[in-house]
Structure 1
């Protein structure tokens, strides 16, 4: 199961590492989108969300402070779903459907990250259960 856990971790983390890098590489375009969605302090929000995605993804991928990484990701994707994908405000049917898909995706990813956070922080999953890792997999538990 170590191989399955490692593959799952890497696949989950890759999405957020890539997204975090994208936030920095396309900072101006993403800031413009955040302004369009009326996010206050848009550039700061893009920088913080990019940092949370990047750190969270790296922590999960390498197996260091996985609970902290998962919590950073959960906070970011759940807030992004609510702020950026408010499908209930859309009047155009296609736009509403696209925003609802993005909203549901963000909530599902946030839910998965919260499960990972809870399993690691509670000690239900320990380092020996988590597959190859560097350092302590938990930031919050002893």
Structure 2
């Protein structure tokens, strides 16, 4: 089961590693989009969110305070869902539907990250194939 947990962690974080890299490699373009959505200090927010995703994903993947890594992803996902995918503000039906899908994806991923957090705190070293014990619990 240890290997299955490791594979699950790796598969879960792939999205965040790629997206975090994009936030840092394409900061100007992503910050422009964030600014169009009303995000304050869009360039700084883009850079900070990129760093949060990468650090959280690496921590979770390697099992170095993986519980904290999972929380970093939650702290990224919830505000992103609300600020970037506010489907309730859209009037165009197609745009509204696309934003709703993105909102639900981010909320679902936040729920999964919270579940991972709880499992790591509860199971601690029994989760297996981690470098450190959980920071919390």
- What is the TM-score normalised by the length of structure 1? 0.92
Partner Cα separation in structure 2 for residue 25 and residue 46 of structure 1: 11
Deviations 1:31-54 (A, max 9, x none): 101111111111111011111100
The reply on whether 1:131 has 2:123 as its aligned counterpart is no
Partner of 1:84: 84
Deviations 1:84-123 (A, max 9, x none): 00001111110000000000000000011111122323xx
Partner Cα separation in structure 2 for residue 17 and residue 109 of structure 1: 14
Mark the runs of 5 or more structure 1 residues left unpaired by the alignment. none
The runs of 4+ residues in structure 1 deviating greater than 6 Å are none
Partner Cα separation in structure 2 for residue 105 and residue 88 of structure 1: 15
Mark the runs of 5 or more structure 2 residues left unpaired by the alignment. none
Deviations 1:21-74 (A, max 9, x none): 111011111110111111111111101111110000000110111111000100
Displacement after TM superposition at 1:77 (Å)? 0.7
Kindly report the root-mean-square deviation, in angstroms, between the aligned alpha carbons of the 2 structures: 1.1
Count of equivalent residues: 137
More helix by share: 2
Partner Cα separation in structure 2 for residue 35 and residue 85 of structure 1: 13
Partner Cα separation in structure 2 for residue 33 and residue 59 of structure 1: 28
Does the residue aligned with 1:125 lie in a helix, a strand or coil?
Answer: helix
State how 1:1-142 maps to structure 2 within 5 Å.
Answer: 1-121=1-121, 124-127=122-125, 129-134=126-131, 136-141=132-137
Does the residue aligned with 1:8 lie in a helix, a strand or coil?
Answer: helix
